[in-house]
Amino acid sequence: MKQVGILLLIAFFVSPVVADELEQTIAGGRLYDKWWVDTKLTPPDSTHPAYKEGKQTGNTTWRCKECHGWDYRGKEGAYSKGSHYSGTKGIRSSEGQSVEQILQVLVNPQHGYDKHLGKEDLNAIALFVSKGQIDMTKYIAYDTKEIKGDAKAGKQHFKKHCLDCHGKKGDALNLAHEKSKPEYVGTIANKNPWETLHKIRFGHPGALMDMRKMHNGMGREHHRAMRKMWEHMPPMLGVLNEQEQINLLAYLQTLPR
């Protein structure tokens, strides 16, 4: 009886903290991308001073992912070549470090993020670096982009968590920036599985369900999506475990491109 009491006491004090840490880690994962979307801040219009070797310019060079990659491996990973090469080292060796240690890196003169982001946001990013990143090389092959996952098993997760907005075949939402070439969740999962995995885990900054993104006109998909109006794309960290997230990614690759 006494033990149960103590356990309940511990659960009472620990769980809000854990939930809060998970929430912050997720927020940090989204800030790794376009951090000015969730924070509603104005992005710098200059090119990041530490951005030296790459081809990008302007505010996109302030996204962590632009230098360190969606796979967190910088020049050793998917950004070892191509238009996003920046010659920057990854952040894998910072996994598991204390938030304080990582904060020092984020505010050092090379990064200078304290001039742009508040304390809470920096904290969330540091938590993500420490606890939210994963080793994607275990699951995604660099050459073929093949996923070590079970697409069949991933289908159930898609149905439960994604179908309402993205549609049965994943083609209800057009995710392309230009109108001419539609892109679906299947397109992105095949083109950039690392980015897709990051977004499965943390959501997509500002991804608010908006009927104007609906691609297939009126119909059943539209009605289903209607119920999700103004809902944000949900992060799967804390909802699905790592292998389930991978299975979902494998399933996304089977959807129409």
Residues in contact with ligand HEC by CB under 6 A are: 48, 50-51, 61-62, 64, 66-68, 88-89, 91, 93-94, 102, 105-106, 110-111, 113, 125, 129, 161-162, 164-166, 173, 175, 185, 188, 196, 199-200, 204, 207-210, 213, 228, 231, 233-234, 236, 248, 252
If we measure between CA atoms, which residue out of 54, 124, 113 comes closest to residue 83?
A: 54
**Nearest approach, Cβ of 30 to ligand HEC (angstroms)?**
11
Q: Which is nearer to ligand HEC, 147 or 209 (CB)?
A: 209
If we measure between CA atoms, which residue out of 118, 92, 122 comes closest to residue 105?
A: 122
* CA 77 to chain centroid: 17
3-state secondary structure of 214: strand
Q: How far apart are CA 165 and CA 208, in angstroms?
A: 10
**Nearest approach, Cβ of 18 to ligand HEC (angstroms)?**
22
**Nearest approach, Cβ of 2 to ligand HEC (angstroms)?**
43
Q: Which is nearer to ligand HEC, 2 or 181 (CB)?
A: 181
Q: Which is nearer to ligand HEC, 39 or 88 (CB)?
A: 88
- Count Cβ neighbours within 10 Å for each residue of 48-61 and write b for 16 or more, e otherwise: beebeebebeebbb
**Nearest approach, Cβ of 20 to ligand HEC (angstroms)?**
20
- Which parts of 40-94 fold into alpha helices (H)? 64-68
